[in-house]
Amino acid sequence: MKRIIAVLMSMIMMFTFTACGEDTATSNSNQTPNDTEEKIVIRVGTTAEPDGHYVKGLEQFKSKVEEYTQNRVEVQIFPSAQLGNERDLVEGVGLGTLEMAISSSGPLPNFSKDFLLFDLPFIITDREIAYEVMDGEVGQSILSSLESSGIKGLGFWENGFRHISNDKKEILVPEDVAGMKIRTMENPIHIETFKLLKSIPTPMGWSEVFTALQQGTIDGQENPLIIFDTNKLEEAQKYISLTGHFYSPAVTMINKATFDNYPEDIQEAILRAEKEAKEWEREYSQSLDKELIETIKGKGVTISEVDKVLWQEACQPVYDLFSDQINPEYIKALTGK
Ligand code: EAX
């Protein structure tokens, strides 16, 4: 009897592995549907948490793509940096080992310098102007600069205005961050800006940040409130200053060769679903601003308003360090100057 059970168990194991293997094999190829109606699987990676704005937007994208393709496409969402940090995700999409990702624009200058535009401190203060520029010629030209890395940039979603948090003291004026170890994204302008503020910028992938905060190897970080809240940073950070020093777009992207291999009707369904999900995600992200301040205060965090003019003046010199790397037409589109 025992032998029969052992044989049955090994048969079940073999079947399970093979089925997953087939699924993985299909989802790794440059898929095109064929007569056997093989389902196209699109895996999307993100570092954000399941209850965050990226994943809620991706759930909109998933349901729309599956509806518009009559379920010939299945979208699988992998949150919480399961498939790696944002640089890894973008590299994977470029190599074609991952079909899609959504990433804050922060790491993207490592793939195209055009994205540095969005990292200039306080260059975006009005979302509507930002959306117009990102959805227009300038934004589309910046997205297409990813194609040399094998990536088709689909759209600019919203990460949001970034605020500084720390576990030492209330930060009100730029001088207050002097000497603090502040985690930044792996982005040259972010690093130089926090150096300018006489802090100690400490770039690292997102998945390492919570532990580094808990262990005290860094004193603070900077992110939109939704990222702070969905990553439970109140467990390691007691102060937030509403500096809004950077506005982060979040870019959705797909491996270009894989996308180009899809039949036209599936390409159109993906582009339509992404555009609609982008608009939904931007609305959702904006709607969170006020309620998150109350939610996070309710968790014992001190949230301080700051005089943004002081911060803007303190960060301004970083423009001179990078102006030769950023198309002046792009800066004019965002600032009018
Ligand atoms: O994209 O790394 C960061 O601080 C990003 O804002 C976060 O992963 C969401």
Query: Is residue 325 over pLDDT 90?
Result: yes
- Give ligand 1 pocket residues (Cβ under 6 A): 47-48, 86, 104, 106, 159, 185, 206, 223, 227, 248, 250
Q: How many CA atoms lie within 13 A of 63 on its CB side?
A: 8
CA angle (277, 290, 282) in 5-degree steps: 15
DSSP of 188-212: HHHHHHHHHTTSEEEE--GGGHHHH
What is residue 32's predicted lDDT score, i.e. its pLDDT? Answer: 55
What is residue 8's predicted lDDT score, i.e. its pLDDT? Answer: 54
Report percent pLDDT > 90 for the chain: 88
Q: How confident is the model at residue 22 (pLDDT cuts 50, 70, 90)?
A: very low
Query: Is residue 144 over pLDDT 80?
Result: yes
Note the pTM of the prediction, 2 decimals.
0.89
User: How far away, in angstroms, is 71 Cα from ligand 1 center?
Assistant: 31
What is residue 271's predicted lDDT score, i.e. its pLDDT? Answer: 98
Query: Is residue 31 over pLDDT 80?
Result: no
Question: At residue 50, what is the residue type?
Answer: P
Query: Is residue 153 over pLDDT 80?
Result: yes
- For the chain, give the longest Cα–Cα distance: 82
Q: How confident is the model at residue 29 (pLDDT cuts 50, 70, 90)?
A: very low
Tens digits of residue pLDDT in 53-83: 999 999 999 999 999 999 999 999 999 999 9
The answer to whether the CB of 117 falls within 8 A of the CB of 326 is yes
Report percent pLDDT > 70 for the chain: 89
Strands (E), 204-324: 220-223, 239-255, 302-305
Beta bridge partners, 104, equal 250
Among 20, 10, 57, CA closest to 41: 20
What is residue 4's predicted lDDT score, i.e. its pLDDT? Answer: 53
What is residue 289's predicted lDDT score, i.e. its pLDDT? Answer: 86
Tens digits of residue pLDDT in 156-170: 999 999 999 999 999
* Pocket mutation for ligand 1, best pick of 88, 194, 206 (most atoms within 8 Å of C-beta): 206
User: How far away, in angstroms, is 87 Cα from ligand 1 center?
Assistant: 11
Query: Is residue 33 over pLDDT 70?
Result: no
Q: How far apart are CA 144 and CA 249, in angstroms?
A: 16
DSSP 47: S
What is residue 23's predicted lDDT score, i.e. its pLDDT? Answer: 39
User: How far away, in angstroms, is 206 Cα from ligand 1 center?
Assistant: 6
* Pocket mutation for ligand 1, best pick of 248, 252, 253, 285 (most atoms within 8 Å of C-beta): 248
User: How far away, in angstroms, is 323 Cα from ligand 1 center?
Assistant: 24
Tens digits of residue pLDDT in 83-129: 999 999 999 999 999 999 999 999 999 999 999 999 999 999 999 99
The answer to whether the CB of 254 falls within 8 A of the CB of 186 is no
What is residue 37's predicted lDDT score, i.e. its pLDDT? Answer: 72
Quote the mean pLDDT of the chain. Answer: 92
Tens digits of residue pLDDT in 255-314: 999 999 999 999 999 999 999 999 999 999 999 988 999 999 999 999 999 999 999 999
What is residue 279's predicted lDDT score, i.e. its pLDDT? Answer: 98
Going from the C-alpha of 185 to that of each of 49, 88, 168, 322, the distances in angstroms are 17, 13, 21, 17
